[in-house]
Chain A
Amino acid sequence: MKIGFFVPCYIDAIAPQAAISSFKLLRRLGLDPEFIESAACCGLPMKDMGYARTACKVEGAVASHMAGYDHIVMPSGICADQFRNHFEDVPQTPEIKQICHAAVDLVTFLHDIIRVDSLPWASFPHRVALHNGCHSLRYLNEARPSELMIPDFSKAADLLNLVDGIEVGYATRRDECCGFGGTFAIWDKSCSGQQGLDKVNDYARNGFRYVTSQDMSCLLHQSCVARKFGLDIKFYYIAEILNGDAK
């Protein structure tokens, strides 16, 4: 099984710890992930803004480095969603289709593909709020969205519950979007900011001092809002807890 490791642009620069913990965790699980160093960006920011032609160039460029892997693991739900569901501006060659199929979010990979059932090194004796990022939740099917009347499940919660001492909980508005939305946070800063503030206040009202998510982009937004408004909450990408790096 040849495993590629794709590091999204925003994680490389601003939240490298998410990728470091993920990479170490994969190795610790006995795998040999290959960091795809020459790959830059999945094209999501351009695609999201409607710039299909620019997205096409960025998609084509990134794909040229990603062929030949059975799985391409990425510590980011939004990017995995982009590869799996929206990577449609480049010509849909068999090679591109294989890449889109191989692209997988870390949580799906751990839960569905290698089926992790123990994490003996991980301990986190705290109550932690799980934020299922919207793309992981509603587009990658990593948990039951509260809107759908289907049997309950949550892949991220299953993994977290393998960690010693952890108590997983949720904000009152369990799957309410936190308002990051990529470039939305810039072009509609008031709405994005208000959504973020409502979200972190929801954690605070429920007494959460720790928050985790499979989507680091949501956490970057939430953590910066929480700090701005003086809330003492720590935010950890899920792999930081699963690998025992979060203290």
Chain B
Amino acid sequence: MSRQVNQVKLGAEFIADTPHRESNDRCLWAARMRRDKVAATLPEWEQMRDLASGIKEHALSHLDEYLVQFEENLASRGIIVHWAETAEDHNDIVLDILRSHHVATLTKGKSMTMDECAMREHLESNGIEVNESDLGERIQQLDNQRDSHIVMPAIHKLRTDVARIFAEKLGSDPANDDPTYLNSVMRADMRKRYVKAQAGMIGCNYAVAETGTIVMCSNEGDVDICATVPPLLIVTIGIEKVIPKQSDLPLFLRLLSRSSLGYDITQYTSHISAPAPGQEIHVVMLDNGRSERLGQSYWPVLKCMRCGTCMNTCPVFRRTSGISYDANYMGPLGLALMPSYDLHRYARLPFSCTHCGSCGDVCPVKVPLPELIFYWRQVVVENQQSLISHDLEEGLMGAALRNSTNLQHAEKLGLWALRHTPSAIAESGINPWAEWHSNPVPPEQTFREWYKDNACHNDKKTDK
């Protein structure tokens, strides 16, 4: 059985690291504030969210038609389409294509869908050199660590961390953490790799069925180099990425970057619809449980367009970092999605949430994240995956809260303990509340006691 991820423990370690916690929180909150500012400039913002949600819902409920249309349009222009039912199928297909082209080294743009398949690890174990081209993703690759955010993979790191990693791996000056310098170190290293690469690999933001266009949004230009410089291009697309029409696209482009980073639009929006002369393009359409999810009550999670704004706003995510989720999709999206990949491994994730509801209100396609997180908590309990401490708490509370007699006994006991336990014990480590809190000041009377002594006998006019 898979090892269960303990987000609470990993999160507590990150919280204790004040400089990293403060930086992570500050950077992501700044993205949320930029998002609020640019969204407020569009009077139609809430209508856009409704419309985008509706289009996604329509596309997901007509996937069979749109996927076929997309494939036919791609094939008509000489793009070779593959269908992968599982992550293993995906990796086998990619490896076959690369081997048949004698590829030894490739560059790859950031793709959560490829990460979901653990593709890089698979290719590397088969002797193929994979170079991440996205700056944040490359930092994480060099540091041998998972992404901490789906859009900003190294946002939890300080620039001193990056200087140390580049010094170790790329031989730069460990004392120089100037971002311009670090960027130039990465650029110089990557240019050599781009020239050597025999294949490029990229993901896809929107797959337009009507035209057979692969639309890719990025900010660094690296995706375009991966897509156009090497003679072989492989694109991985999750089947939920399909949208019906070209005229739907501007709506999503207007929402994406504003939600994600708080900028009007991504620096690069590339539309790929045919191979360049001498180029070969393969598209791998990945299911990996998506068609199964479509038939479940949590299907709305498939509307997600991976902007990451739910992570930027999540108060837990900002303080614990995406690393603490130890998962391909983290933050509120991870809570709503990862249990569907492995219920045991991710059974604790849905509980890493205060139910503040902010994620649902920022989501540009209105994925009901709070409801889905609630849903998964119940599934975890129904499948006996809950923690013993939760079961114990539930048992005690269930008994105490069932009726007012039990409640009053429990209150008497609790208030007695609060009044009489010596502070050396009450404020000690055996009380989990006491690490961050003083204990509440016990009142002289409960409301029920006050009511008996006062209100229930009083004439209401004298009770002022």
Q: Give chain A's interface residues, CB within 8 Å of chain B.
A: 7, 9, 11-17, 19-20, 23-24, 27-28, 32, 35, 37-41, 43, 45-46, 48-52, 54, 57-58, 61, 86, 134-135, 137-139, 145-150, 173, 175-177, 179-198, 220-221, 223-225, 227-228
Write the chain A residue with the least CB distance to B32.
Answer: A147
Interface residue B75 (Cβ < 8 Å from any Cβ of A): no
Per a CB cutoff under 8 Å, which of B355, B356, B393, B406 touches A186? B393
Asked whether B270 is an interface residue with its Cβ less than 8 Å from the other chain, the reply is no
Say which residue of A12, A43, A150, A198 sits within 8 Å of B407 (CB atoms). Answer: A12
Tell whether, in the assembled complex, residue A49 and residue B390 are in contact, meaning their CB atoms are under 8 Å apart: yes
Select from chain B the residue with minimum beta-carbon distance to A85.
Answer: B371
B8 pairs with A37, CB closer than 8 A = no
Given known contacts A37-B404, A186-B432, A187-B387, what 14 new A-B pairs fall within 8 Å (CB)? Answer: A14-B443, A17-B443, A49-B390, A50-B377, A52-B381, A57-B398, A134-B355, A134-B358, A138-B356, A138-B360, A181-B353, A192-B436, A195-B316, A195-B354
Chain A residue numbers with a CB within 8 Å of B16 are 190
B56 to chain A, nearest CB (A): 19
CB pair A14 B448 closer than 8 Å? no
- Whether the pair B401, A191 counts as a contact (CB closer than 8 A) is no
Quick check: B39 and A149 within 8 Å, CB to CB?
Answer: yes
- Judging by beta carbons under 8 Å apart, are B436 and A49 in contact? no
- Mark out the residues of chain B between 42 and 97 whose CB falls within 8 Å of any chain A CB in the assembled complex: 42-43, 45-46
**Residue-wise interface mask of B (111-126) relative to A, using a CB-CB cutoff of 8 A (1 in contact, 0 not):** 0000000000000000
Chain B, range 302-328, C-beta contacts under 8 Å to A: 313, 315-316, 319-320
- Cβ-closest chain B residue relative to A86: B374
A134 touching B357, Cβ below 8 Å: yes
B145 at the interface (CB under 8 A from A): no
Q: When the two chains form their complex, are residues A191 and B463 in contact, meaning their CB atoms are under 8 A apart?
A: no
Check A177 against B315 for contact (C-beta < 8 Å).
yes
Contact A13 B415 (CB under 8 A): yes
Q: Which residue of B lies closest to A19 (CB)?
A: B447
- Among A146, A149, A190, which residue has its beta carbon within 8 angstroms of that of B46? A149
Residues 213-256 of B, flagged 1 when their CB comes within 8 A of A and 0 if not, give: 00000000000000000000000000000000000000000000
Complex interface: chain B residues within 8 A of A145 (CB): 357-358, 361
Taking the nearest CB of chain A, how far is it from the CB of B242, in angstroms? 28
Q: Taking the complex as formed, is B389 at the interface, i.e. its CB lies under 8 A from any CB of chain A?
A: yes
B170 part of interface (Cβ distance < 8 Å): no
Using C-beta atoms within 8 Å of the partner chain, give the interface range for chain B: 35 or more
CB-based contact B414/A13 at 8 Å: yes
Q: Looking across the interface, which residue of chain B has its beta carbon closest to that of A226?
A: B438
When distances are taken between beta carbons in the complex, the residues of chain A under 8 Å from B456 are 35
Question: In the bound complex, how far is the Cα of B464 from the Cα of A164, in angstroms?
Answer: 18
* CB of A174 to closest CB in B, whole Å: 10
18 contacts between A and B (CB under 8 A): A13-B443, A15-B440, A40-B402, A40-B407, A46-B397, A49-B377, A54-B397, A58-B401, A134-B354, A134-B358, A146-B36, A149-B39, A149-B40, A150-B46, A184-B351, A184-B355, A187-B8, A193-B437
Residue of A nearest to B452 (CB): A37
User: DSSP class of B's interface residues: helix, strand, loop or mixed?
Assistant: helix
Smallest beta-carbon distance A61→chain B, Å = 5
A14 to B447, CA, bound (A): 9
Check A191/B8 contact, CB under 8 A, given A145-B358, A186-B433: yes
A187 contacts B351, CB within 8 Å?
Answer: yes
Picked from A11, A27, A52, A190, the residue with its CB within 8 Å of the CB of B378 is A52
Q: Which residues of A contact B401 (CB under 8 A)?
A: 9, 40-41, 43, 45-46, 58
Considering only residues 328-365 of chain B, those with a C-beta below 8 Å from chain A are 350-358, 360-362
A45 vs B395: C-alpha distance when bound (angstroms): 11
Q: Is the CB of B398 within 8 A of A46?
A: yes
Minimal Cβ-Cβ distance residue in A for B411: A13
A224 to B433 alpha-carbon distance, docked (Å): 9
Q: Which residues of A contact B39 (CB under 8 A)?
A: 149
Q: How far is the CB of A47 from chain B (nearest CB, A)?
A: 8
**Is the CB of B445 closer than 8 A to any CB of chain A?**
yes
With beta carbons under 8 angstroms apart, the residue of A14, A41, A224 that contacts B438 is: A224
Complex Cα distance, B451 from A20, in Å, reads: 8
Contact partners of A150 in chain B: CB under 8 A: 46
Cβ of B335 to closest chain A Cβ, rounded Å: 12
| Closest chain A residue to B391, Cβ basis | A51
Contact A41 B407 (CB under 8 A): yes
List B376-415 residues whose CB lies under 8 Å from chain A.
Answer: 376-382, 386-387, 389-390, 393-394, 397-398, 401-404, 406-407, 411, 414-415
Q: Per a CB cutoff under 8 Å, which of A16, A37, A49, A221 touches B393?
A: A49
Interface check B446, CB cutoff 8 A? yes
Q: How far is the CB of B408 from chain A (nearest CB, A)?
A: 8
Chain B residues whose C-beta falls within 8 Å of the C-beta of A11 in the assembled complex? 447
Query: Nearest residue in B to A184 (C-beta to C-beta)?
Result: B354
**B460→A32 contact, CB < 8 A:** yes
Bound together, the chains give a CA A221 to CA B355 distance in angstroms of 15
Interface residues of B in 446-464 (CB under 8 A from A): 446-451, 455-456, 460, 463-464
Does B15 sit at the interface, judged by CB under 8 A? yes
Q: Are B394 and A190 in contact (CB under 8 A)?
A: no
User: Is B176's beta carbon under 8 Å from chain A?
Assistant: no
Across-interface contacts of B362 in A (CB, < 8 A): 147
> In B145-182, which residues have CB < 8 Å from any A CB?
none
Residue among B42, B402, B404, B456 with max Cβ neighbours from chain A (10 Å): B404
Contact A180 B406 (CB under 8 A): no
Partner of B356, one of A27, A45, A134, A227: A134
B450 / chain A contacts, CB cutoff of 8 Å = 16, 20
Tell whether, in the assembled complex, residue B394 and residue A195 are in contact, meaning their CB atoms are under 8 Å apart: no
Contact of A177 with B354 in the complex, beta carbons under 8 Å: yes
Tell me whether A35 and B443 are in contact in the complex, defined as CB-CB below 8 angstroms, given that A50-B377, A195-B319 are known contacts: no
8 Å CB contact of B8 from A137, A188, A225:
A188
| A27, B315: Cβ atoms closer than 8 Å | no
Residues of A within 8 A of B25 (CB): 198
